[in-house]
Structure formats: structure tokens, C-alpha cells
Amino acid sequence: MGLRRSRRGLAVGALLALVLVWSSTFVATKLLFGQIGPVGLALLRFVVATAILVPLADWRGAGPLPWGRLALLGLTGVTGYYVFQNVGLVYTSASAASLILACIPALVAGVAALFLKEKLNARRLAGVGASVVGVAAIVVAGKPEPSAPAPLVGDALLLGSALAWTAYTTLGKGLEHLSFRVTSAASVGFGALFLLPLAGAEYLSRGAPALTPAGWLGVLYLGAAASAAAYYLWAYALQTLDATEATVYLNLIPLLGVALAAATLGESVGVLELVGGALIVGGVTFAGRAPAREAEEELLPLSARGEGAGG
């Protein structure tokens, strides 16, 4: 009993560390925009993550791989997700980003019902509806301010990011038999590859990045801690906790994201935005039985499927 409690405590500790790291990524990303463009930052982040994850994958034991499907995972879950997210953060606040992206589990449940014929019962439907209303409230509440010069544009891009992750999750169906290490390493590697021409275009339009030593530490944090290490924290937690229970902890991300944005960037959140965030988090929680593996969002292309790990 004592060993079981100890393992559970370590698993919960891993989840709390994961939630803190993922909650901070919106702020960390926004702070780096003065030194590097949003696409270039995404590229460097996933070059770091690729360098860590590829050597850790067991490629010899993977067997024949569906490279086309893995490339699509990289295109949607890394390139699409992070280009929309990072560019969106140029125009809207980190608080709004953390709240809007919390709707991903509800979007996944709705898309799975439409295209994968998964059952959308009344409980799930209510959760999806509440999340949609919550996102609408946040978008309506957005007002231009120094950290959010064009919130409507930014919020629209973040919805594009959420849809890209939804596509990634849907495309991942049927690949549960693959090792999570192989799937993650391949999708992250392809994502970095697809980011190259976009980052090149950004370089030509705005010039070379001017990263300070602190800026490079920020890039390493996003690539090593928020992408690679966080993935293994999620995998470790799932060794003790089931995915449904573990996913509940991820609902803390938007709440901590708002708090960190207020503390570090001085962002303010209005009543309507708080109501919208509560509707999103409440809707996702109420849906409860939405596919737990798909509810992992770190918002990050390192979601758990089969053996599981976070985003």
C-alpha cells in the first residue's frame, strides 16, 4: 500500500510539473518575439525536440512505418499547430491563447463524431456546446492592448491552431500500435522539416533573429522541457494513473496560463473572458467521457495515443 501511494504521489507530481511547464509556454513564447519571429521560434523549438527524441526512439523494433501518415502528423500537429499558435500570439494575449486552446478536447470529440462515427452522447454534446460558447465569449471580449494589438486576428489564428491539433489527433487514429517514442520522434522530425521553408520566408522578410543568451535559454526550455521532457512526464504519469484521471489535471493549464500571463506580462482578464474560460474548462470536464487520449492537449504535438504521453 505504501509503495502504491508513493508511486501515485510521484505520478501526480509529474503531472503537476507538466501542467506548470505547459502553462508557461504561452508566456515564454511571447517574451521571445522581440528576438525572433514566431515561425523561426517554432523551428528552433522542434529542432531541439527532434535532436532529443529521435535518438531515444526504438527504430529497429518499430517494423514497417506508415511514413505518409507520420508526415501528415508532423504537418498538422507540429507545423500547423505551432505556426497558427505562435503567429496568433503576436496578435492576441497569452491569456486568451491559454483559454481558447483549452477547447481542443471538445473539438476532438465533435470531429470524431462526424468523421470517425464515435458516439456523441448528450453529456459530450453539452460539453462541446459549452466550450464553443466559451470560445465565442473570449473572442467577443477581446480588445486591443499592447500585448494584444489585433485580438480578433490572433483569436482566429488560435482557433486554426486548435483545428490543426484536432486534425492531428484524428489522423493519429489507427496508429495506436506504434510505440509512442517512434510516433513522436517521427512527427516532430517531419514537423521541423516542414517548418524550414516557412522559417526561411520569415527570415527573408524580417531578417535574422537576434537571440541573446537568455533568448537561447528560452528556446532550449521550449524544446527540451516543454516538448521533449514534458512528453516523458506524461508517459510516466500514465504508468500509474489512467488517462481519464490524468487528463483532469490538464484542465489546470488555462487557469495557470492566465495567472502567469498576469504576473509576468501584466495582462488583464475581463469578466466575460473569465466566464468564457470557465465555460470551456467546465464543458471539457463535464464531457468527462470524451476520448481521454485525445483530451491531452499541451497543447503540444506529443499527445498520448496507446502508450500515451502529453502535448
Q: Are 24 and 198 in contact (CB under 8 A)?
A: no
65-92: pLDDT as tens digits: 999 999 999 999 999 999 999 999 999 9
84 found inside a domain: yes
Determine the structural domain holding residue 165 and report its residue range: 14-295
5 found inside a domain: no
Q: Are 100 and 212 in contact (CB under 8 A)?
A: no
DSSP-assigned letter for residue 77: I
- Confidence class of residue 225 from pLDDT cuts 50, 70 and 90? very high
304 found inside a domain: no
Which residues, listed in sequence order, are joined to residue 145 by a DSSP beta bridge? Answer: 148
**Residues 149-175: what's their mean pLDDT?**
92
The answer on pLDDT for 278 being more than 60 is yes
The count of structural domains within the chain is 1
4 found inside a domain: no
Model pTM score: 0.87
Of 2-6, 41-45, 149-153, 206-210, which range is least confident?
Answer: 2-6
3 found inside a domain: no
Query: What CA–CA distance (Å, rounded) separates 79 from 56?
Result: 22
8 found inside a domain: no
Q: What is the pLDDT of residue 243?
A: 64
35 found inside a domain: yes
Q: How far is CA 255 from CA 54, 249, 273, 279, 280, in A?
A: 33, 11, 12, 12, 11
106-126: pLDDT as tens digits: 888 888 778 777 777 788 788
Q: Are 104 and 299 in contact (CB under 8 A)?
A: yes
Q: Are 212 and 36 in contact (CB under 8 A)?
A: no
Whose CA is closest to 295, among 105, 87, 13? 105
Q: Diameter of the chain by CA atoms?
A: 61
- Confidence class of residue 5 from pLDDT cuts 50, 70 and 90? confident
Residue reference for cell 452522447: 121
**Residues 253-270: what's their mean pLDDT?**
91
263 found inside a domain: yes
Q: What is the pLDDT of residue 267?
A: 92
